[in-house]
Structure 1
Amino acid sequence: MRILWDFDGTLFDTYPAFTRVMKELVHSEIKEEDILKELKVSFRHATEVFDLSEAQVETFREMDNAVSPEDKPPFRGLKDILEKAEVNVIMTHKPREEVIAILNHFEMDHYFTDLVAGDDGYPRKPDASSYRYLHKKHNLDLAIGDRVLDILPAKEIGLKTCLFQNNAEGADMYVTNYHDLSEMLWPTSK
């Protein structure tokens, strides 16, 4: 299995940290669950919904960079899938330096063959350019993401798709944890 992974909310549980940081920048009456809901659509979407200025967006990025990687852990059961997969690649809007810092912190960089990061010059999802590049280079089978935005480009280029902790329409598979995905991809005999 050759897998393309989204990073935030798919490989690593970063949304609690994102939500806490954004909570400091929005009106006090806005609840964390409302912030999370909008962030799960996309960061850009959340900044528009909460009417954040460019200065506030830059402050968010600075504050998020200051959050320890320890507060952005990998999801439970993830390493089992990464070990079983033939190839793992990442496509994320997060800057390369941040991705590498988190991967190194959790000693997980060796699981990934390739990475397209937000500062590599590709258009943002749902544009399929970065997915097309990674698929051509690695002959991928499956794309896994936590948002519809993550699976749209995969669908466009003919990859199977999996939504993680999201039941929105459009994916080929849905999972809420990585133990279940491992069983789906590599069933064990009982």
Structure 2
Amino acid sequence: MIKHIWFDVDGTLATHSDEFNKVHNQLRYKIYSQVINKPVTEFLQQEFEALYKKHGSNSATFRSLGCASDFWMKHFEQIDKEKYYQPNENIYKTVEKLKDKALISVFTNLTAEGTKKTLRILKINPDWVTNYLSGDDVKERKPALSGFYKMIELAKISAEEILYVGDKVGVDIIPAKKVGMKTCLVWSKSDEADYSFENFEDLLTIDLTVQSKN
């Protein structure tokens, strides 16, 4: 039985437009070039993407280069979210309906300040959210497991009674499964997740009352 639903934020509740992706990638390559002190070239971009594939997230990639855990997120939050993020009625209405069926919380690599600012832009009412767990609150950002264990601690229930919803298999789904949570991938399909939906509102089709098998 699922009693508590936790959401990733960036890429899950906040969807990315082509314009955002362009600005986002430019920033990733720019910061990487500064860290390794080389100009931005096509080869450098390919090199960065290889590292990203290996480590699973931008935060983990820059962490592997010796940067602080919050290094990438401090740069990421330079992007004007007011300009590039738009509230999606299907998303916030779905979350509103789900909060009547289970507790709602968020766990994200964003900073604490960035998390609440982003949710405000997306029209996710703060009164719906039980716990805010940001990248600032854990030693290592996703896909490290420390934050997932912290979710269980905050929820004060067993891992199998928690559903974690995210958009990335390697960063969200696999780590959540490793600690025993139920998982849901949104915006694409994967056999790695317990549930996966291309349409966000299909989260409402999950039977939260089904008892887990021991």
- Pairwise TM-score range, normalised by the shorter structure: 0.7 to 0.9
**Any gaps of 5 or more consecutive residues in structure 2?**
34-39, 209-214
Distance 1:123 1:153, change over 3 A: same
Residue equivalent to 2:106: 90
Residue equivalent to 1:43: 58
CA shift, 1:175, in A, is: 0.5
Identical residues among aligned pairs (%)? 24
Contact 2:184 2:194 in 1 (8 A): yes
RMSD of the TM alignment (CA)? 3.5
Tell whether 2:25 aligns with 1:4. Answer: no
Candidates 94, 98, 101, aligned match of 2:117: 101
CA shift, 1:75, in A, is: 4.3
Distance 1:6 1:80, change over 3 A: same
Contact 1:88 1:111 in 2 (8 A): yes
CA shift, 1:185, in A, is: 4.3
Counterparts in 2 of 1:15-54, with a 5 A limit? 16=18, 17-23=20-26, 25=30, 27=40, 41-44=56-59
Tell whether 2:134 aligns with 1:131. Answer: no
Aligned mates of 1:133, 1:60 — CA distance in 2: 20
What amino acid is aligned across from residue 162 of structure 1 in structure 2? Answer: C
CA shift, 1:171, in A, is: 0.7
Aligned mates of 1:119, 1:173 — CA distance in 2: 28
Contact 1:96 1:118 in 2 (8 A): yes
Residue equivalent to 1:161: 183
Contact 2:57 2:142 in 1 (8 A): no
Aligned mates of 1:88, 1:98 — CA distance in 2: 18
Aligned mates of 1:179, 1:185 — CA distance in 2: 14
TM-score between the two structures when normalised by the length of structure 2 = 0.65
Candidates 88, 103, 122, aligned match of 2:139: 122
**Any gaps of 5 or more consecutive residues in structure 1?**
none
What amino acid is aligned across from residue 25 of structure 2 in structure 1? Answer: M
Candidates 147, 158, 177, aligned match of 2:199: 177
Q: In the TM superposition, what whole-angstrom CA distance separates every residue of 1:152-171 from its partner, at most 9, and x where no partner exists? A: 22212221111112334411
Q: In the TM superposition, what whole-angstrom CA distance separates every residue of 1:111-135 from its partner, at most 9, and x where no partner exists? A: 2111111112332223322222222
- Structure ID, larger Rg: 2
Distance 1:60 1:81, change over 3 A: closer
Candidates 80, 85, 89, aligned match of 1:72: 85
What amino acid is aligned across from residue 141 of structure 2 in structure 1? Answer: R
Aligned mates of 2:73, 2:164 — CA distance in 1: 28
